[in-house]
């Protein structure tokens, strides 16, 4: 399994071999809104979690820094998220970057955990140290755009205040967050009327206080139809 390499603002790099990958779900701070979202998903056939927030283990090799995501059919889509990367034992080894959890929506109705393991978690190639942004974390903004027929459209736009913070997971799942772990935050609401089944995804995590952005983008690449 190839290690991930993150460029840091001071010009150094952090190299991490991912040994544990976790996807949070239903992780909004307003849990009443989360409950309403679960009810909406249930109408689409997506099974409800037994507890919220949820945490889904994902195969570590699915953490990837890639420019293209191969898919088997036309009903897969991304989700804009932040990712906490545990690069070592020290506080300064906790990194924050942007992520996009590419999910199989057809499989999701049979099991959310299954759908999470059917596509990669795409991560940015740059990261920040959590200690450098944690004092203004809620002011950071997560945005995603989709592209179809050459037209790019905003599909997600929310401050990090909408999501449970990295500190929540560091305090409540500390036994899981060993060096080599990557944890994705769960996503924010999609804007109405935008088609999520797009040819390209682009996600940004912006720090307005420091004037910095970490980003990622990738093409959704349809594989040939199976034979047999």
CA atoms of 207 and 137, how far apart (whole Å): 8
Average pLDDT rounded to a whole number, residues 150-169: 96
The listed range with the strongest mean pLDDT (43-57, 100-114, 190-204) is 190-204
pLDDT band at 46 (very low <50, low <70, confident <90, very high): confident
What is the sign of the dihedral through the CA atoms of 9, 217, 37 and 54? Answer: negative
Question: Are residues 193 and 109 in contact, defined by beta-carbon separation less than 8 angstroms?
Answer: no
Residue 1 has pLDDT above 70, yes or no: no
pLDDT band at 130 (very low <50, low <70, confident <90, very high): very high
Provide the β-strand partners of residue 6. 14
Residue 36 has pLDDT above 80, yes or no: no
pLDDT tens profile 105-114:
998 888 888 8
Radius of gyration of the chain (CA): 17
Residue 27 has pLDDT above 70, yes or no: yes
């Amino acid at each position: 399994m190839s290690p991930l390499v993150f460029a840091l603002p001071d010009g150094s790099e952090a190299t991490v071999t991912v040994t544990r990958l976790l996807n949070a779900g239903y992780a909004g701070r307003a849990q009443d809104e989360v409950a309403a979202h679960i009810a909406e998903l249930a109408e689409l056939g997506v099974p409800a979690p037994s507890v919220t927030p949820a945490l889904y283990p994902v195969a570590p090799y699915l953490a990837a820094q890639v420019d293209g995501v191969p898919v088997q059919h036309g009903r897969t889509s991304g989700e804009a998220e932040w990712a906490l990367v545990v690069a070592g034992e020290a506080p300064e080894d906790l990194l924050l970057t942007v992520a996009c959890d590419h999910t199989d929506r057809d499989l999701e109705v049979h099991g959310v955990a299954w759908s999470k393991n059917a596509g990669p978690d795409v991560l940015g190639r740059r990261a920040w140290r959590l200690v450098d942004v944690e004092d203004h974390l809620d002011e950071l903004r997560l945005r995603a755009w989709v592209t179809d027929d050459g037209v790019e459209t905003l599909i997600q736009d929310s401050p990090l205040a909408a999501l449970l913070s990295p500190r929540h997971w560091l305090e409540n799942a500390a036994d899981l967050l060993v060096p080599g772990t990557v944890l994705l935050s769960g996503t924010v609401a999609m804007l109405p009327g935008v088609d999520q089944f797009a040819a390209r995804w682009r996600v940004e995590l912006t720090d307005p206080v420091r004037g910095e952005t970490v980003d990622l983008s990738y093409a959704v690449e349809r594989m040939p139809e199976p034979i047999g």
